[in-house]
Amino acid sequence: MIANPHGMVEPSAPAMHPCAPTSTRAWRAWRALRTRGARYVWHKTLRRLPGLDPLRRRQWLYADPRAYWTLRGGDEYFSEQEGQPARTDRIIWIADRIASRQPRSVLEVGCGYGKVLRLLRERLGPDVPLVGVDFSASQLEVARRHLAGLSGITLAHASGARLPFPDDAFDLVLTSAVILHNPPVVADAIRREVVRVSSRLAAHNEDTDVSYNRFGYDTAAWYRDRALPVLESGPIPCGDAAARAASQFCVAGPWRA
């Protein structure tokens, strides 16, 4: 594991095997086959296959979101995400907005490899409990390494559509690019679970655009349609014009004292 310029810890590149193919692309494919198996290689090929109809791509690749993110997660995904400064800028902005609400405890639904949790720990100090859940075991495996040594952070393998917590268990509940990856019935279940386990606030970073693995929702409108208060809602001022236009950050609540 090594530190990148943003202070994040990321996996070191593995040493080249003496019998590995010489080209970079062939080496990566060979390594993926050895370490992740044929299913992962097929998954990756479908993601990158040019000219594939978006509907067909969704049917073949994203029929099961949990399986998709279990295959997608891992060290390669970590390096890919950490290598995009615009994404880090966005998450820093989100962490600052959440910290400004001074939450007494935070649950992140769909915590991935722990990028937001790490930044929240830096901003909120050691006394605010942080919990992250994700339905991808491969994402949590990297999160445990990425967050190693930080106190007061708990990780659990669970679905956001059925959270293993009692009502009002957390002061603030967060989703970041999670609801948008789920079909409408599941997305609605996640939102309802967020409200159930939050005693005060819910915060969401959920883009509104549509792709083979994004359904795109107006999360703030979901709260307003149910007469639940929305404290703030708008685009995230990071990234290029297209990224800003598709982004939405909103904070809903408070609905309980």
CA–CA distance, 93 with 85 (Å, rounded to integer): 12
CA–CA distance, 78 with 240 (Å, rounded to integer): 22
pLDDT of residue 60: 65
The structure tokens listed for 153 are 């952070």
pLDDT of residue 213: 86
Identify which has the larger pLDDT, 255 or 132: 132
- Asked whether the predicted pLDDT for residue 2 surpasses 60, the reply is no
- Asked whether the predicted pLDDT for residue 13 surpasses 70, the reply is no
Q: Which residue has the tokens 């590995």?
A: 20
Q: Which residue has the tokens 């967050």?
A: 147
Q: What is the pLDDT of residues 126-144, one digit of tens each?
A: 999 999 999 999 999 999 9
pLDDT of residue 32: 58
pLDDT of residue 16: 46
**3-state DSSP of the chain:** CEECCCCCEECCCCCCCCCCCCCHHHHHHHHHHHHHCHHHHHHHHHHHCCCCCHHHHHHHHCCCHHHHHHHHCCHHHHHHHHCCHHHHHHHHHHHHHHHHCCCCCEEEECCCCCHHHHHHHHHHCCCCCEEEEECCHHHHHHHHHHCCCCCCEEEEECCCCCCCCCCCCEEEEEEECCHHHCCHHHHHHHHHHHHHHEEEEEEEECCCCCECCECCCCHHHHHHHCCCCEEEEECCCCCCHHHHHHCCEEEECCCCC
Residue ranges of domains in the chain: 10-82, 85-252
Q: What is the pLDDT of residues 192-209, one digit of tens each?
A: 999 999 999 999 999 999
- Asked whether the predicted pLDDT for residue 3 surpasses 90, the reply is no
- Asked whether the predicted pLDDT for residue 17 surpasses 60, the reply is no
> How many residues are given for the chain?
257
CA–CA distance, 192 with 182 (Å, rounded to integer): 14
- Taking a C-beta distance cutoff of 8 angstroms, is the pair 21, 159 a contact? no
The structure tokens listed for 249 are 């950050």
* Nearest in space to 211 (alpha carbons), one of 1, 33, 55: 55
Task: Please give the CATH number for the structural domain made up of 85-252.
Answer: 3.40.50.150
- Taking a C-beta distance cutoff of 8 angstroms, is the pair 69, 135 a contact? yes
